[in-house]
Amino acid sequence: MGLQNTWLDASNKDTRKEMIIDEISVKKPFNKQAMVIRLTLASLVALTLYAFVTFDYKDIQFFDAALETARTVKTMFFQPLFKHITFLEAVKHLTITLGLAFLTTLFGAVLALILGLLAANNLSNPKLAIVVKAVVAFIRAVPTVLWVLIFAVAAGLGSVAAVIGMTFHSVSYLVKAYSESFEELDKGVIESLKASGANWVQIVFQAVLPSSVTSLISWTFMRFEINFAVALAMGAAAGAGGIGYDMFMASSYYYDVREIGAITYLILAFAIVLEFIAGWIKKKLRVQA
C-alpha cells in the first residue's frame, strides 16, 4: 500500500511538471511589436554580413592577421617588461592619474550632493527638480572627452582642462544617482519629521543622508572607477600626463607591446586593490548602520 501511494505521488508530480512545462512552452501571439523586433534583428545581421563581405581588406589575409594578433597578445601579456620607464616611474605616473581621478570625483561628489538634493522630487520644488534634471541630462549626453576639449579652448591642453571637463561630466552623472537614492526614502518619514517641526536642513541631515549613505558611497566609488579609466585616456588626448601618456607612447611611438602589457598589469592590480577598498568601506558602513 505504501509503495502504491509513493507511485501515485510520483506520477502526480510528473503530471504537474508536464503541465508547468506546457504552460511555459505556450508561445506568445505574434504581434506587430514582435515582428518589428525580428525584422530589426534580421536587418542588423544582414548588414553585418554585407559589411564583412564588401569590406576592403587590401592585401591583408584574414587568417594571417588573426595569427599575428594572437602572437601580439601572447607577447603583451606573457612577456611584460618595462623598457622605456622603470617600475617606480610607472607607479609615480599612476599616482598622477589616480590624483586626477580623485580630484574630479571629489569635486563632482560635493557639487552633485547639493544639486542632487535639489533634483529629488521628495525634497525640492517639482519645477526646480525638473530643471536640474534636464540640465544634467544634457551635460551627461555629451561625452567626457568633448567637454575636456571644450574647456581646453579656454584653459589649454593639460591637467586643468582635464579636471574641469571630467568634473563637469561627473556632476551630471552623480546628480542622477544621488537624486534617485534620495527619492527612495519613505515619504512617511519626511512627513513625520515635518509634523514634528523639523526644517529642511534637519530632514536632510537626520533622515535623508543617514539612510542613503551606503548608496552614495557605492555610486561615488563607481564614478571614481569611471574617472580613473577616463583619466587614462585624458593623459594622452588632453596632455594631462600620468600613466595614460606612457601607454600612449608605448603603443604609438615606441610600439613596445611588452611595455603595454606591463602597464596594463599595473593598472589591473590597482583596480583590484581599489575594488577591495570599496568593498571594505561599504561593509564597515553597513555594520555601523
Tell me the percentage of the chain whose pLDDT exceeds 90. 13
Residues near 151 by beta carbon (within 8 Å), at least 6 away in sequence? 160, 161, 164, 165, 168
| C-alpha separations of 199 from 117, 196, 207, 225, 229 in Å | 14, 9, 12, 36, 41
* pLDDT-derived band at 265, boundaries 50, 70, 90: very high
pLDDT score recorded for residue 4: 46
Domain edges within the chain: 9-65, 81-288
pLDDT score recorded for residue 287: 58
pLDDT score recorded for residue 2: 46
Q: Which three cell numbers stand for residue 269?
A: 592590480
pLDDT value at 15 more than 70: no
pTM here is: 0.73
pLDDT score recorded for residue 47: 92
DSSP tally for the chain: helices H, then strands E: 12, 0
Q: What is the pLDDT of residues 91-130, one digit of tens each?
A: 998 998 888 889 999 999 999 999 998 888 888 888 898 9
- Helix (H) or strand (E) holding 81, with range, is none
Domain 81-288, CATH class in plain words: mainly alpha
